[in-house]
Structure 1
Amino acid sequence: MKIWVDADACPVVIKEILFKAANRAEIPLILVANQSVRVPPSDWISSVRVSSGFDVADNEIVRQCEAGDLVITSDIPLAAEVIAKEGQALSPRGEMFTKDSIGSRLNMRDFLETLRSSGEHTGGPAPLHVRDRQAFAAELDKCISRYQRKRQR
């Protein structure tokens, strides 16, 4: 398993949790962004810089990720593509996207996009709270534990 991060939109506090987890579990962590991303020195952590442009980082993650990999993203279409490749997708708020939930999430996203394009103000995402960070860390630990159990077999 590798952990891929849609790093352009990933909060710094979530990146810090990921850095610690990757080093502790010795799992490759790759941050993908269209700008330079600072990463701590580690054999387990790296970054990939892609060119600027709509969905360039997302497309690179989809191209590189494999079945069983974990992708950290709040981008619903990216999560859907990862799930289609038999990967796992986790939001920075700790929501694990699944085959069962991704369809309704895509529909809601499209609905809100339609509202916004008609001039309706739908607001942005809520601020990241402590409970969101805790939910993320707990879900990340579950993913890593499942992977480690499989690896030991």
Structure 2
Amino acid sequence: MAGPFREGGVTAVCGIESRGFLLGAAAAVELGVGFVAVRKGEGVFPGEKVTRRSAPDYRGTRQELRLQRAAVGPGDRVLLVDDWIETGSQASAVRSMVAECGGQWAGCSVVVDQTVPARRADLGVRRIVTAAELPAWDERS
């Protein structure tokens, strides 16, 4: 997941709670840069924060996302890492928060990509597989 961004000047990796914490932290270690947590909801998160409410996702759910303002600054080039991207609404919210803090968006690296081509290009999504490439999932198994 870090490979496509190895030469991109990434200075920090963001991960959205909770699977993004695991994948993002691993990518940050691989790239030798810091990790920036993006929290959902109202849990404890010290310091001044930047917040965004995402556009509705595929279920119609809007997430309140929070990032510590001091974690990203001018000159930072930030990569978002997550497990699955459906609509790109949360990634877009994170990109907006990064910009508010003065950082630049490097792109988004995901395991599974379900976005439409225009959104994929807009967010700079790199993926391992598309949702269409996955075998059909049977909920009864």
TM-score w.r.t. length of structure 1: 0.36
- Write 1 or 2 for the structure with the bigger share of strand: 2
Structure richer in helix, relative to its length: 1
Query: More relative contact order in 1 or in 2 (CA 8 Å, sep 6+)?
Result: 2
TM-score, structure 2 normalization: 0.38
Larger Rg: 1
